[in-house]
Amino acid sequence: MLPILHIGPLAIQTPGLILLLGLWIGISLTERQAHHHAIPAGKIYNLILWSAAAGIVAARLSYIASHFSSFAESPGSIVSLNTALLDPWAGAAGAFLAALIYGHRSQLPFWNTLDALTHLLAVFAVASGLSHLASGDAYGAPADLPWSIWLWGAYRHPSQVYETGAALFILFALWPQKGFIRPQAPGVRFLTFIALTAAARLFLEAFRGDSTLLPGGLRLAQLAAWIVLAACLWGLRKWIK
Amino acid sequence: MKSQAIAKYWYPLSALVLLLGAAWIWFSTAPPDLAASEAVQAPHQGFLAPDFELRNAAGESIRLSDLRGQAILLNIWATWCPPCQAEMPAMQAVYEAYQEDGFVILAVNAANQDDRQAVLSFIQEYSLTFPVLFDDSGSVAQTYLANALPTSFFIDRDGVIQEVVVGGPMSQALLHEQVQSLLEQP
């Protein structure tokens, strides 16, 4: 765990730095591979940029709308850099909508665009695991194993290592032109990535210590992952045939 | 050839994968004691806030666990840290707004890397009325893994950390939201 990186007088939050690095590497890889998906590199870059900007604005506006009284008392908080003042679901919806609008206006083919973005998503998934390792978030359930790690007052499953390992496996399985899964038809790369990620989450959630639980001890993330996996398998059927 | 085989058996293979997935979900239901992690003291969201006892400028001792039943903002800070300075007026405003509802701020000064006189002047200059405690040995900052200043912990009435904010300054809106959320919890 390395939540803070001290460089001279600067105290840099390592998890955030890792995510930014992941974003940067992912965008670079996506731009470089864009032509393989018949997408101009500039357009995929613009799509990511517009989505990110729209996502941030939507996340903040939604948060302000739902906590208006707090912002009315201190309007300066509207432009606060604090990421806690963001509504992640509204941000995701805003980013998705912006991507749809930009993609439609730029006449980007839907499935090819998703295939191109898969490179970014796959790299970002690895960065997400590493950022959890740095922050100690997404921690494992207590376990007495030779490879358990001491975290938050107990020996636990190194769930962040499992998460990073699974993301690395998926990244290299789908690595452009060299991975052992080489999808041909448009959309297969994206759906395969989502299916593998959902399967990994379904399996690895069992070792987490911070799962959101439903009655009977069922883990919400596992159920969600199962549904996503089922949808992807259904979606893949027409290309596999 | 291989892809033809996969295509031929796609539906049974998919069904098998989903069946195995469902079995794994059932097999890996959480044990009843998983939620008991809250009973462990750790400086992370969802865990009990580690207990400590420190003195204020008047020499009075305050123990965190004695404040159980109140919503607490534990803020670890120093006078030389600009974001710490910047968020103090907002903290004071929020303290005044919610003090009577059962909200308390414990401003733990990283005294092992600060000047006592500077802290006393700071308290006067910013008219701080909430308790400022002196962490002379740095043990509280160490226990709470406060590697960067300021670091803030929002602790509910049961003593469980609900949110950790590393760095600052925290905006007044964020403080309002966090404190209201703590106070709304049963």
Residue of B nearest to A1 (CA): B145
| Closest alpha carbon to B157 in B96, B104, B106, B93 | B104
Residue B88 CB-half CA count within 13 A: 27
Indicate if B100 and B169 belong to the same structural domain: yes
Which residue range forms the structural domain that includes residue B146? 33-184
Instruction: Tell me which residues of chain A have a pLDDT lower than 50.
Output: none
Indicate if B38 and B8 belong to the same structural domain: no
Looking at residue B172, its pLDDT comes to 87
Query: Which of A70, A222, A233 has the CB atom closest to B25's CB atom?
Result: A222
Q: Quick one: A196 exposed, middle or buried, by C-beta within 10 A (0-12, 13-18, 19+)?
A: buried
Indicate if B22 and B110 belong to the same structural domain: no
On the question of pLDDT at B151 being above 60, the answer is: yes
Query: Which of A4, A152, A229 has the CB atom closest to B21's CB atom?
Result: A229
Looking at residue B148, its pLDDT comes to 86
The tally of domains found in chain B comes to: 2
Indicate if B115 and B138 belong to the same structural domain: yes
CA max distance for chain A:
60
Answer whether 0.90 is exceeded by the pTM: no
d(CA B183, CA B162): 12
CATH of the domain at B51: 3.40.30.10
pLDDT per position as a tens digit, B95-124: 999 999 999 999 999 999 999 999 999 999
| Per-domain residue ranges of chain A | 1-34+117-241, 40-108
Indicate if B21 and B88 belong to the same structural domain: no
Residue of A nearest to B24 (CA): A203
Q: Do B10 and A229 touch (CB under 8 A)?
A: no
Indicate if B104 and B22 belong to the same structural domain: no
Residue of A nearest to B14 (CA): A233
Amino acid at B114: D
Q: Which of A152, A208, A229 to mutate: most B Cβ within 10 Å?
A: A152
On the question of pLDDT at B37 being above 70, the answer is: no
| Closest alpha carbon to A62 in A40, A85, A43 | A85
Indicate if B92 and B51 belong to the same structural domain: yes
**What is residue B159's DSSP assignment?**
S
Looking at residue A180, its pLDDT comes to 82
| Closest alpha carbon to A221 in A138, A103, A132, A101 | A138
Indicate if B19 and B62 belong to the same structural domain: no
**Region of poorest pLDDT, from A192-206, B8-22, B29-43, B50-64:** B29-43
Q: Which residues of B touch A6 (CB under 8 A)?
A: 147
CA distance B34 to chain A (A): 7
Query: Which of A141, A142, A216 has the CB atom closest to B29's CB atom?
Result: A216
Looking at residue A12, its pLDDT comes to 80
Indicate if B52 and B90 belong to the same structural domain: yes
Looking at residue B30, its pLDDT comes to 86
Q: Is B42 on the interface with A (CB under 8 A)?
A: yes
Indicate if B82 and B152 belong to the same structural domain: yes
Indicate if B97 and B170 belong to the same structural domain: yes
CA distance A173 to chain B (A): 16
Indicate if B19 and B38 belong to the same structural domain: no
Looking at residue B178, its pLDDT comes to 92
Looking at residue B34, its pLDDT comes to 65
CA distance A143 to chain B (A): 11
Looking at residue A197, its pLDDT comes to 98
